[in-house]
Amino acid sequence: MNRTDRIAALKQAAKERILILDGSWGVMIQRRELSEEDFLGERFKGHKGQMKGNNDILCLTRPDIIADLHDQYYAAGADISETNTFSATTIAQDDYHLDLQAVIDINREGAKIARAKADEWTLKEPHKPRFVAGSIGPLNKMLSMSSDVNDPGARLVTFDQVYQAYREQVAALYEGGVDLYLIETITDTLNCKAAIKAILDLEEEGQETLPIWISGTITDRSGRTLSGQTAEAFWNSVKHAKPFAVGFNCALGADLMRPHIAEMARVADCLVAAYPNAGLPNAMGQYDEQPHETSHELHEWAKDGIVNILGGCCGTTPDHIKHVADEVRDVAPRQIPDRPKALRLSGLEPFELA
């Protein structure tokens, strides 16, 4: 299938069933117990500073590992697998002293690796086509919050710098063959808006229009993103992008995330997606929630009609994803609500004027 046909197939599949996203990449890579040499590879031998921990660079130095992880998640029942490009921007990769060309290569090759595996599985199981989401993660610098407690106006980056970093990433992911963009783990809505603008501007310049999936993060029991917005306020801030899907991931386990997903399901006129952590981390930073526990929680969400896409974030594995896929296989997806027209705005809180 060409990309236009794949996008049509993705949208059709979303009408028929709850779609399944893959799970954690970090925990699976950690299990490989890779060395500094694995991360450096031949290309970066002699590179200054430590590269270990820069999981995105494995797209270039250990593509075999990345391909195998895509393979495991597709085999577990995932319809969609993310590219291994969560931190692949010039701003985030500056911590590892990587230049623009390396960042472009990470995104392009990460997309190509995922595309090849998705196409293999689609040929093997044509009744269940597989799709690739270009992972566009948060930055280590925020536009909405000061970098200096003594100076409320202090920022380490400008909007133009964030926009340019995301534009470079989006262009390379597109070239590599992704089917949709996933702006994920959003802590700062203004950073997210820069990513959205980068995507929309490239489309205006001739790129094929790809679906956009926007996934925020509720950071704690306050029910707000790190930049202070409630679920509905966050939706009001990003709905202008006309996303394919919106929702939340990371930070919380399924039990604590549920009310925020339910609220998004009430207000969003697009698909609602969720991929929680495997519970909260223990004292050692490990995730103890077992696959059957995660899948039971997410089955309840599906049964109650509040989700269209489910997957896993920190601590989840192919076994978690297999259990989730099995649990919701015969459950109908959420029906998108028909909300009356109104003026809906937001700051930290939503504002509606009928």
Binding site residue list: 250, 313-314
- What residue numbers does the annotated binding site for Zn(2+) cover? 250, 313-314
Of the candidates 108, 188, 101, the residue with the CA atom closest to the CA atom of residue 140: 188
Chain centroid, CA 178 distance in Å: 13
Helix (H), strand (E) at residue 133: strand 131-136
| Contact status, residue 227 vs residue 249, Cβ threshold 8 Å | no
Phi–psi pair at 350, nearest 5 degrees: -80, 155
| Contact status, residue 312 vs residue 303, Cβ threshold 8 Å | no
Q: How far apart are CA 307 and CA 5, in angstroms?
A: 24
Sign of CA dihedral 342, 344, 309, 82: positive
Of the candidates 203, 202, 248, 195, the residue with the CA atom closest to the CA atom of residue 223: 248
